[in-house]
Structure formats: C-alpha cells, structure tokens
Homo-oligomer: A and B are copies of this chain.
C-alpha cells in the first residue's frame, strides 16, 4: 500500500507541474480526513476555467466509489468546474474521463472504456 501511495503521489505531482506549465494555477487537495467537505485530488484554474481531477495510478481496471463521484459532481454543480477522472497508465501516460461518462458507466474504468471515452491532456486543457 505504501508503494501504491507513493506511486500515486509522484504521478499527481507530475500532473500538477504539467498543468502549471500549461498556464494553470494548481493545488493538490489534502486527503487526510481533515474535513467532511467534498474534495477531489487536484484543482486547477485558468482564466476562470476550473478543472477538478480525481487521480488514479493503476495498471488494471478500477472502480470509483459513488461517494467520490458525487463529490466531483458537487464541484461541477456548485463550483462551475469540469470534473474528470485522470488515469495514469504505465508507459502510456495520462488519459482523462469526464465525470458524465464515468457515472453512466457506474464508476467502472477499464482499458476499453478509456480507449472509447478518454481524452489527452491537450484535449483537457483546450
């Protein structure tokens, strides 16, 4: 678990710096159970456009829990953000799935789904 945490942390930092390099201001949200308020992993903003991203660094398929999806939705509904799940795939890089698609798929994310619905970081920031 420590390795998975460390791998995820490193991937998130890399994504933060990449978005910063693309002109965004960025923040990595704390997840240490500090509050009951909805919290994605990353918040980024550029000229009033807000992105919130839940990050996963996994080799195989995974599921985002419904509570987590609802927290992302709250950032869209209240904040006016666009919410994504960001998946760092080893040797392939990041792909991003919009919350609507992830919700329709009941939070399940695998390679086929990612190929169909995923967008690159260039498309994310466009």
A98 neighbours in B (Cβ, 8 Å):
none
Q: Which 5 A-B pairs have the closest CB atoms?
A: A48-B80, A45-B79, A25-B79, A30-B30, A47-B80
Question: Can you spell out 29 A-B residue pairs with CB atoms less than 8 angstroms apart?
Answer: A13-B35, A16-B35, A16-B37, A17-B37, A20-B37, A23-B78, A24-B79, A25-B37, A25-B74, A25-B78, A25-B81, A26-B37, A27-B27, A27-B39, A27-B43, A28-B30, A29-B29, A45-B50, A45-B75, A45-B79, A45-B81, A46-B79, A47-B78, A47-B80, A48-B48, A48-B79, A48-B80, A49-B80, A50-B50
By a beta-carbon cutoff of 8 Å, the part of chain A in contact with chain B is 13, 16-17, 20, 23-30, 34-35, 37-39, 43, 45-50, 74-75, 78-81
